[in-house]
Amino acid sequence: MNRRLFVGPVAGDFDPELDIAAGPWCFAGREASHPGWESLEFIEPFDTPKKLVAAEIKTAALTDDRVARWADRLNLHHGLDRPEVFWGRYLNLWISLVAMATWARWRNAEELIARYGDVSMDVPVCSDAQFPRSSGFPDFMSRLISDSEFQLALDSRILRRLCPAAWTLVEQDVVPAHDTPTDESAPVQTSLVRRLLPRMAVDHLPGLVLSKPLYSALVALLPRRAAAENRDRVVASLEDGAFPPDYLAFLDWFLAETIPDSIGGAGFRSLDSAASALRYVPGRLYVANTRAPSDQARMIAAHALMAGERLVNTQHGGWEGTTAAVPWNRQTYADDHAFLTWGWERQAGLPGRCLPHIAPALSNVRNRHRATTSMLVMVGARLAANGMRFDCVPRPRAMLKYRQDKVAFLNALREDIRAQAQYRPYTRDACDFEEKTYIQRHVPAVGMIDNDFHRSMLNSRLLVIDHPGTTMHIAVAANVPMVCFWNPADWPLCPEAKPYFVGLEKAGILYSDAVSAAAHVNDIWADVLTWWRSPEVVDTIAAWRHQFARTRRFSRLALIGTLWRLSRQEGDQDREATPIPKGRWYKSQTNSRVVH
């Protein structure tokens, strides 16, 4: 048998002594069939935070460059004359995702060729069939991120362009499925409120549900001001030679080949017609999640921008304000009138006006912790295998160590504590690594939380978090005692956030390895609340809460004040955020040893 290189799912007869897997994703969904696969050597082109952040910045510039090109192309295709700000809002998410995914896999192929290009190998690839046309962006994103056959087709097309002479491409019968799971691009109104009020001025704000019509009525009464006069997007500069010409040609081909119907077909015309029929008020605030995958939401936001409304987006996740890279829609922040954060003002060169506000979603759980159980609750992040996006999370190879650290922590707990431990697995995707079964196999004494995680967290004795994410913000808002641990190299932070995480380290809340975190849990378990209420911990959490998880008892009143102030600001007024106050606490942390 010839030596084989698998870029997609490995075959059942994969021989670890002879064959090569392009990445850990080749074993997703097949882990049990190949014992010991985790010890294999894998390529990782972005194996340092510096490389990851550089890739994110480069693909952000590439996204802006391609948005400008596709704006002209789609105006001609659809017989329109829309400004670039319209197309920027509508296309950015699609082009950004494609740029990251294709560049990640292109670089992986280049690294494989650099290492094995002179070795004679058979490479199973997908047949040269046409890619399925997705109905909308959510459908396309699902295929690209979660469909191993679609990913194999992508890798196969890349190898057809780069394949060295020593490799033989062997076609397989597998082709991407052409069935469309869900048409999420159709402008369907799903509730009575939506049917009566098809477009509210406050369309989406985490923590507000029934009160959105009330706030929309309030916004309608607020002062109107001109939006930013310069509606041309602030385009990042794409340096000459930043990408190989062959890759750029492939990117353009792939975009044209896989363009969703909601962008290049009848779906676009349907969405555009529905959005055009809505009423827009120049100068009015529009509070919405306009960076969501929903084609309908992005289409309405694009029309609102074009009509002169002032878009206000709000923070939705814990990565915002903390991570070293901003891999989603970086440049669309510059188009917003404001971005309401949970406390921070700057992140890794993010453009636009970032303003702290009292988050209703976090205020809903303010100080809600009640230790009514003796549970230790542990929660982890998604075990994504494919590395298609430049998020500040462990890359595919590092994800294996991240998973092993979970087991190391649980096994390092005292037996009586481990008996009280409950683990909350992330909802597994088809292309993710095993989590629930992996934990159960290695630490059978640990229970699983499959229902209301937030209730378990709020009633727990101690929360353990192994990643910096949204759960951490919710826990701080709810005042849940917590111990955290993760490898800082796998979760790179922006310079503005580092001092606050150093503060967590000094207070014994955050650890850089699993065993040290478990030792601390063993020490404080007898009286968790005494440790949690110690002056150093209280002061550190208070500073972290002010920066990343602000709450207030009457958060709705605070929101009214925020909207009032925003309504009185001109579009170009105070576009730069004010500097973060650097008082004694901040300076004491920056003078400390920074390990992130």
Contact 452, 167 (CB under 8 A): no
Helix intervals (H) in 117-147: 137-146
Q: How confident is the model at residue 25 (pLDDT cuts 50, 70, 90)?
A: very high
Average pLDDT over residues 515-529: 98
Q: How confident is the model at residue 99 (pLDDT cuts 50, 70, 90)?
A: very high
- Given a cut of 50, whether residue 357 has pLDDT beyond it is yes
φ, ψ of residue 505 to 5 degrees: the values are: -65, -45
CA nearest to 539, candidates 488, 475, 585, 590: 585
The alpha carbon dihedral of 467, 287, 307, 574 has a sign of: negative
- What's the confidence (pLDDT) of residue 571? 61
Highest mean pLDDT among 186-200, 221-235, 496-510 belongs to: 496-510
- What's the confidence (pLDDT) of residue 593? 32
Q: How far apart are CA 566 and CA 579, in angstroms?
A: 19
Q: What is the set of domains in the chain, with CATH numbers?
A: 5-172 (no CATH), 199-359+558-567 (no CATH), 376-552+583-590 (3.40.50.2000)
Contact 514, 408 (CB under 8 A): yes
- What's the confidence (pLDDT) of residue 352? 85
Task: State how beta strands 121-126 and 20-21 pair.
Answer: unpaired
Average pLDDT over residues 458-468: 98
- Given a cut of 80, whether residue 39 has pLDDT beyond it is yes
- Given a cut of 70, whether residue 411 has pLDDT beyond it is yes
Q: Tell me the pLDDT tens digit for each residue of 198-209.
A: 689 999 888 887
- Given a cut of 60, whether residue 178 has pLDDT beyond it is no
Average pLDDT over residues 506-527: 98
Q: How confident is the model at residue 44 (pLDDT cuts 50, 70, 90)?
A: very high
Q: How confident is the model at residue 449 (pLDDT cuts 50, 70, 90)?
A: very high
- CA 107-434-492 angle, to 5 degrees, is 50
